[in-house]
């Protein structure tokens, strides 16, 4: 009951913040926060919005298979955020955009515009639903099953609560609720670390020394070019992950576009870009400490890294207080990610697909419909209940960002025209060709693409757009 009470108090505070920030809120507040958000609030809140509940659980377990090499990607993130801040944000602010895909309409054409928005909606709905499903499963398995709460009820209540506190204020509300949720997430992480250090009978200084001396504290890999953990692969991939999954993602950019000026948005972007290294260092450090604790207690490690933190934090092995911290941390991280996804999908559908950004009635109906579809996606994943199917969906979601990279790169780096009618076909063909290339290289040479598959996907889209422009000219239409 203490967990339920803590979560209810948490939701009560969220609703209070929502009520205070959504007074007299219309479409201008829902879509753009009336361009009045303090940049430092956006920056702090974006840390939580960028770390989903899956990340909260998964990152500590990464040390089991790949040590702390994930920090190489995080270092790449910093440079990626600089690219977004000083290349993409000036374009978005100069054009005074509500959704970033409007840029494609101005530069490439209407079908390119609709294609970009459609790829975003598809990938965001599937990706956000999978992440939220995994979090629901974790809470169900380790907390709610013992209380007799059925899974469908868990999903309906959690998604309904997200809809409730975002339905009026939208992005204006999220700037403030994300700040609160990031604070809760980081507080939960810190308190869990303190309890683990106590269980190890160490002082904080001794814990830092123990982590640094552990073999799992390895960060850099320069000696193996075929390894997916090679520094340059991780570093470059980190840059492009941020450029594509933040700079070309309406969900991640919508809050940044609520800042008063371009300069404030750039300060926000660079600030939370730097914050990712220390935050993820804490998660990975916790993972090493949990391995040390398992060794001390003589416990068998789980087969999957995702289960390392839940094995200790959600089963009561470290006390009921840690179970509460874990539950609040996972809920805060997952809600901070899911609420912004729901708001961004509503914004993109109304503005990009319907092209009716001033229709408040439509916006309310679409927001409710998106919440219902979100629930249905999560329920479907539960019915499928196949890890291989979920992995396949995750892979498909990853593929859908490549065409966005190619579309924006072509628009920004060239002044050439495209055959707008062919763009939807090019955007679909590029991921398919990517999949075939990845399968062939794996079968013939044993080489498996990692994050660099995103670059190949974007490159294929770019080449397709270039060739479509040449064909357009030869036909005499342009």
Closest CA to 409 of 451, 459, 456: 459
What element of type H or E holds 36? none
CA distance 257 to 175: 11
d(CA 33, CA 255): 8
Of 87 and 240, which is predicted with more confidence? 87
Closest CA to 31 of 403, 375, 362: 362
Residue 324 vs residue 398, higher pLDDT: 324
- DSSP notation for 91-110: HHHHTT-SSTTHHHHHHT-H
Give me the pLDDT at residue 475, please: 53
Task: Please give the average per-residue pLDDT across 216-244, as a whole number.
Answer: 85
Report the pLDDT value the prediction gives residue 385, as an integer from 0 to 100.
64
How many Å apart are CA 92 and CA 33, to the nearest integer?
Answer: 15
Residue 451: the pLDDT is 65
pLDDT, tens digit, 9 for 90 and up, residues 38-62: 999 999 888 877 777 777 888 898 8
pLDDT at 416 over 70: yes
pLDDT band at 354 (very low <50, low <70, confident <90, very high): very high
Range 225-241 average pLDDT:
82
Predicted local distance difference test score (pLDDT) of residue 117:
95
Residues 430-457 pLDDT 10s: 999 988 988 888 888 877 666 677 888 8
Report d(CA 413, CA 465) in Å as an integer: 12
Longest alpha-carbon distance in the chain: 77
Total-model pTM: 0.88
Query: According to the model, what pLDDT value does residue 197 have?
Result: 95
**Tokens representing 31?**
């879509």
- High-pLDDT (> 70) share of the chain, %: 93
Please give the backbone phi and psi of residue 37, each rounded to the nearest 5 degrees, phi first. -75, 135
Contact 144, 453 (CB under 8 A): no
In degrees rounded to 5, what are phi and psi of residue 259?
-70, 155
Q: Structural domains in the chain? A: 2-385 (1.20.1730.10)
Cα gap 110→94, rounded to integer Å: 20
Give 374-377's long-range contacts (Cβ < 8 A, gap of 24+). Answer: 374/125, 374/128, 374/129, 374/132, 374/159, 374/338, 374/342, 375/155, 375/156, 375/159, 377/125, 377/126, 377/129, 377/133
Per the structure block, which two tokens stand in for 198? 């106590």
pLDDT(25) > 70: no
User: What confidence category does residue 316 fall into, taking pLDDT thresholds of 50, 70 and 90?
Assistant: confident
- Kindly report, residue by residue over 136-156, the tens digit of the pLDDT: 887 787 677 777 888 899 899
pLDDT of residue 478: 43
User: How far is it, in rounded angstroms, from Cα 55 to Cα 62?
Assistant: 10
Cβ atoms 80, 241 nearer than 8 A: yes
What are the pLDDT digits (tens) for 151-190?
Answer: 899 899 889 989 988 888 888 888 888 888 888 889 989 9
């Amino acid at each position: 009951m203490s967990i339920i009470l803590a979560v209810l108090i948490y939701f009560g505070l969220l609703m209070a913040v929502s009520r205070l920030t959504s007074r007299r809120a219309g479409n201008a507040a829902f879509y753009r926060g009336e361009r009045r958000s303090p940049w430092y609030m956006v920056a702090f809140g974006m840390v939580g919005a960028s770390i989903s509940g899956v990340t909260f659980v998964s990152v500590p377990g990464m040390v089991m298979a790949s040590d702390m090499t994930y920090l190489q990607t995080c270092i790449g993130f910093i440079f990626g955020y600089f690219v977004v801040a000083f290349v993409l944000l000036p374009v978005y602010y100069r054009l005074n955009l509500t959704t970033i895909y409007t840029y494609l309409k101005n530069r490439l054409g209407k079908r390119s515009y609709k294609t970009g928005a459609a790829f975003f909606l598809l990938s965001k709905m599937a990706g956000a639903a999978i992440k939220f499903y995994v979090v629901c499963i974790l809470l169900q398995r380790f907390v709610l099953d013992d209380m007799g709460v059925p899974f469908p009820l868990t999903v309906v209540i959690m998604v309904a609560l997200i809809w409730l506190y975002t339905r009026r204020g939208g992005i204006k509300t999220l700037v403030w609720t994300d700040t609160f949720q990031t604070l809760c997430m980081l507080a939960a992480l810190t308190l869990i670390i303190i309890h683990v250090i106590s269980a190890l009978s160490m002082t904080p200084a001794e814990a830092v020394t123990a982590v640094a001396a552990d073999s799992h504290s390895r960060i850099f890999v320069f000696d193996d070019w075929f390894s997916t953990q090679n520094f340059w692969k991780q570093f470059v991939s980190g840059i492009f992950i941020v450029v594509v999954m933040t700079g070309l993602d309406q969900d991640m950019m919508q809050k940044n576009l609520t800042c008063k000026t371009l300069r404030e948005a750039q300060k926000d972007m660079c600030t939370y870009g730097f914050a990712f290294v220390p935050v993820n260092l804490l998660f990975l450090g916790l993972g090493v400490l949990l391995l040390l604790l398992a060794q001390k207690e003589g416990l068998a490690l789980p087969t999957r890294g995702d289960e390392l933190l839940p094995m200790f934090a959600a089963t009561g092995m470290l006390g009921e207080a840690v179970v509460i911290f874990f539950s609040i941390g996972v809920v805060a991280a997952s809600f901070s990610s899911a609420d912004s996804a729901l708001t961004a999908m509503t914004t993109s559908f109304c503005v990009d697909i319907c092209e009716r950004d001033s229709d408040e009635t439509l916006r309310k109906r679409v927001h409710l419909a998106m919440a219902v579809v979100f629930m249905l996606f999560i329920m479907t994943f539960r019915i499928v209940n196949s890890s291989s199917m979920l992995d396949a969906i995750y892979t498909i979601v990853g593929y859908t960002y490549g065409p966005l990279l190619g579309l924006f790169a072509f628009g920004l780096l060239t002044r050439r025209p495209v055959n707008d009618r062919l763009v939807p076909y090019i955007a679909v063909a590029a991921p398919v060709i990517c999949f075939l290339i990845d399968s062939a290289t794996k079968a013939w040479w044993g080489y498996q693409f990692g994050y660099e598959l995103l670059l190949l996907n974007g490159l294929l889209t770019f080449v397709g757009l270039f060739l479509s422009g040449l064909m357009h000219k030869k036909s005499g239409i342009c």
